[in-house]
């Protein structure tokens, strides 16, 4: 049967979304060990066509096992497929839209017309070692019947493309003057983006820095790296604000439900030992349990301010209060935090997409 290009694109998008979780979580998807070196050689090559061609081969093999994935020209035989059209309609647009370094034209342009993916084509190739690695991977696809294994191959292949993008520089779209309504859309999109906690934290940090600059405070604002234990550094929370060496307040940013046990644990390990009088939990308020609120009231009676805030509402209120000047400060701080080299390129690409959407909507 002919390749369904819409199904092929949907498959790539679904797998790449899963790959995003791998990148954020620093996970390596499983793949047969003997293929790792072949993938590494293929992706180290300056000839991009080999790795790009693998995507088409994988899509074709997953959709129809009767297709001969070594024959990328439809006139080569009954079981051949149209590799050029698959690349033009599915593979290349996918790579470009996700800002992955790739060829600007069909990958088949680097081969002679009517090429077959076999050893006879090796003569005249630009990178023989990479072409042999490519053939080995094609051979694995060709010999594999198990659907789960084939999709696992595509998952790992797209993971390698994602890592390729992580190694590249992604220029950020600048955040220009936007309305509070547009800020609400942007902040909502950022908070909904799977980021391993990074985006919620930088939104709060950017807002605190804005308040500091706007009101001329002498605050020192420090925040933890992602997945860094507060106890290991002696920090009072994800974000600690001091003035003259004294803690003004500390904050914890979480996307998880807030239960009483979390409040008690935070009090015993951070608030009490560090003598913090004012502690903020930035948490989705619909996940805040009544028991957690009651426990906070008890600590309030003991002299400790423990309050719960929802990020989007608090940031929007701060931006409305500080006016145009505050919004300009917030834009600069947020862009600086997003530009950090440690920020995954995947999140920078998402940022650019969101800014582009806002621009088009104006």
Q: What is the pLDDT of residues 208-253, one digit of tens each?
A: 999 999 999 999 999 976 544 444 445 578 999 999 989 998 999 9
pLDDT tier at 77, thresholds 50, 70, 90:
confident
Within 8 A by CB and 6+ apart from 110, the residues are: 47, 49, 103, 126
Q: Give the pLDDT band (50/70/90) at residue 1.
A: low
Rg (CA), the chain: 26
- Predicted local confidence at residue 231, as pLDDT: 46
Q: Are 35 and 140 in contact (CB under 8 A)?
A: yes
State residue 229's pLDDT score. 45
Once rounded to an integer, what is the mean pLDDT over residues 68-78? 89
Query: Mind listing the pLDDT tens digit for each residue in 9-60?
Result: 999 999 999 999 999 998 999 999 999 999 999 999 999 999 999 999 999 9
Q: What is the pLDDT of residue 106?
A: 79
d(CA 212, CA 227): 26
**What's residue 227's pLDDT?**
45
Sort 35 into a burial class: Cβ within 10 Å, 0-12 / 13-18 / 19+.
Answer: middle
Q: Give the pLDDT band (50/70/90) at residue 274.
A: confident
pLDDT band at 107 (very low <50, low <70, confident <90, very high): confident
Task: Give the per-residue pLDDT at 235.
Answer: 56
Percentage of the chain modeled with pLDDT above 90: 74
pLDDT for the residue numbered 228: 45
More confident residue, 32 or 103: 32
pLDDT score of 124: 72
Q: Looking at residue 362, what is its pLDDT?
A: 57
As a whole number, the mean pLDDT across the chain is 91
Q: What is the model's pLDDT at position 198? A: 94
pLDDT at residue 97 is higher than 70: yes
In the chain, the percentage of residues whose pLDDT exceeds 70 is 96
pLDDT of residue 346: 92
Under DSSP, the state recorded for 87 is I
Over 50: is that where the pLDDT of 185 sits?
A: yes
Per 3-state DSSP, the chain is made up of helix, strand and coil in percentages (nearest 5) of: 60, 10, 30
Tell me what pLDDT residue 121 has.
Answer: 82
CA distances from 333 to 80, 205, 328 (A): 54, 8, 9
Residue 108 is predicted with a pLDDT of 81
**Whole-number pLDDT of residue 145:** 95
Q: Between 123 and 182, name the one with better pLDDT.
A: 182
Stretch 150-154: mean pLDDT? 97
What is the average pLDDT across 162-182? 90
């Amino acid at each position: 049967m002919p390749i369904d290009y819409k199904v092929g694109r949907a498959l790539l998008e679904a797998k790449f979304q899963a790959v995003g979780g791998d990148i954020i979580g620093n996970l390596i998807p499983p793949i047969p060990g003997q293929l790792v070196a072949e993938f590494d050689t293929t992706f180290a090559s300056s000839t991009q066509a080999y790795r790009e061609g693998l995507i088409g081969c994988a899509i074709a093999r997953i959709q129809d096992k009767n297709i001969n994935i070594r024959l990328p020209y439809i006139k080569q035989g009954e079981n051949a497929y149209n590799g050029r059209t698959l690349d033009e309609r599915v593979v290349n647009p996918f790579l470009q839209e996700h800002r992955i370094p790739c060829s600007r034209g069909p990958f088949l342009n680097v081969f002679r017309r009517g090429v077959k993916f076999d050893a006879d084509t090796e003569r005249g190739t630009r990178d023989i070692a990479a072409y042999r690695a490519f053939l080995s991977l094609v051979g694995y696809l060709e010999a594999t019947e198990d659907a789960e294994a084939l999709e696992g191959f595509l998952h790992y292949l797209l993971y390698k493309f994602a890592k390729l993008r992580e190694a590249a520089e992604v220029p950020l779209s600048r955040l220009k003057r936007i309305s509070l309504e547009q800020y609400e859309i942007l902040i909502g999109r950022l908070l909904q983006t799977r980021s391993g906690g990074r985006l919620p934290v930088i939104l709060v940090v950017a807002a605190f820095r804005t308040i500091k600059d706007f009101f001329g405070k002498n605050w020192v604002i420090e925040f933890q790296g992602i997945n860094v234990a507060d106890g290991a550094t002696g920090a009072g929370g994800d974000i600690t604000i001091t003035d003259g060496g004294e803690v003004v307040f500390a904050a914890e940013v979480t996307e998880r439900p807030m239960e009483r046990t979390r409040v008690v644990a935070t009090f015993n390990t951070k608030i009490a030992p560090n003598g913090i009088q004012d502690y903020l939990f930035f948490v989705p308020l619909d996940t805040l349990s009544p028991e957690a609120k009651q426990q906070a009231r008890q600590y309030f009676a003991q002299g400790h301010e423990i309050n719960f805030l929802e990020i989007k509402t608090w940031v929007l209120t701060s931006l409305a209060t500080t006016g145009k000047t505050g919004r300009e400060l917030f834009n600069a701080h947020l862009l600086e935090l997003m530009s950090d080299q440690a920020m995954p390129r995947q999140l920078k690409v998402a940022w650019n997409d969101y800014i582009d959407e806002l621009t088009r909507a104006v």
